[in-house]
């Protein structure tokens, strides 16, 4: 099961104060790059994996999407999303992405922001998602960059000349990482960029753009 850190009260309280939580999509630094990749979504059925407060679900409906399903493992996240959503075409589902099942060819587009690096069995999830997309469907997602997850002791360092460096020890060693972010012991799953891109290709996705931020 995915670690459900967002239902820990202290973590959720801290997360709720972040700009992306208070301001929505415009408060997320990766949003301009993601938005530039989005296709025309008028009349489309959309699924959002790790929907959080539902900011993207509501935004994509404003762009004309016909129906949106937001999925998250956190009851706290979904409670907030439901409280600020007033749209019968947006549905929220509590589900662990590690065991997610979706109907075949049910969606035209899938989106996920900063959720997939929490998933241990990413092959299974992406395979499920590929099968759930209709022919011609698309996927846009973001993850924490692998260089930030790789170090055994993440954090900026300063050399004798005052230059800041980020350690890359362990980049080629894939697997879980425990880090302290708003709480101690947050588990993320590090994969090299090559592993991630090759996995997408093996599952039948066609890559059209990759951005790093």
CATH code, 125? 3.40.50.150
C-beta of residue 77 within 8 angstroms of C-beta of residue 56:
no
Q: Give the integer Cα–Cα distance in Å for 193 and 78.
A: 30
Does the pLDDT of residue 28 top 90, yes or no? Answer: no
pLDDT of 181 reads: 66
Domain presence at residue 101:
yes
Domain presence at residue 54:
yes
Domain presence at residue 67:
yes
Domain presence at residue 124:
yes
Q: What are phi and psi of 38, to 5 degrees?
A: -75, 140
Domain presence at residue 208:
no
pLDDT in tens, 104-147: 999 999 999 999 999 999 999 999 999 999 999 999 999 999 99
Domain presence at residue 103:
yes
Domain count, the chain: 1
Rounded to a whole number of angstroms, the CA Rg of the chain reads 18
Domain presence at residue 213:
no
Domain presence at residue 44:
yes
CB atoms within 10 A of CB 31: 18
- Containing structural domain, residue 187: 5-145+168-202
pLDDT in tens, 64-108: 999 999 999 999 989 999 999 999 999 999 999 999 999 999 999
Q: Which residues contact 154 (CB under 8 A, 6 or more apart)?
A: 148, 166, 167, 179
Q: Find the mean pLDDT for residues 181-201.
A: 88
C-beta of residue 63 within 8 angstroms of C-beta of residue 44:
no
pLDDT of 21 reads: 74
pLDDT of 182 reads: 65
Q: Please name which of 117, 106, 38 lies closest in space to residue 68, comparing C-alpha atoms.
A: 106
Does the pLDDT of residue 19 top 90, yes or no? Answer: no
């Amino acid at each position: 099961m995915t670690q459900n850190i967002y239902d820990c009260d202290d973590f959720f309280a801290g997360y709720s104060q972040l700009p992306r939580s208070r301001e929505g999509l415009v408060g997320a630094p990766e949003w301009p790059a993601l938005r530039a990749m989005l296709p025309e979504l008028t009349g489309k059925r959309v699924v959002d994996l790790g929907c959080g407060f539902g900011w993207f679900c509501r935004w994509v409906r404003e762009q004309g999407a016909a129906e949106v399903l937001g999925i998250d493992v956190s009851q706290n996240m979904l409670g907030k999303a439901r409280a600020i959503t007033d749209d019968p075409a947006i549905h929220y589902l509590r589900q662990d992405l590690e065991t997610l099942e979706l109907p075949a060819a049910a969606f035209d587009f899938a989106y996920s922001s900063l959720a997939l690096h929490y998933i241990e069995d990413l092959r299974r999830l992406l395979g499920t998602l590929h099968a759930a997309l209709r022919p011609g469907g698309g996927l846009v997602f973001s993850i924490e960059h692998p260089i930030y997850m790789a170090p055994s002791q993440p954090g900026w360092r300063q050399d004798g000349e005052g230059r800041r460096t980020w350690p890359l020890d362990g980049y080629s060693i894939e697997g879980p990482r425990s880090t302290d972010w708003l709480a101690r012991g947050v588990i993320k799953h590090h994969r090299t960029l090559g592993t991630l891109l090759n996995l997408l290709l093996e599952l039948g996705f066609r890559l059209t753009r990759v951005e790093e931020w």
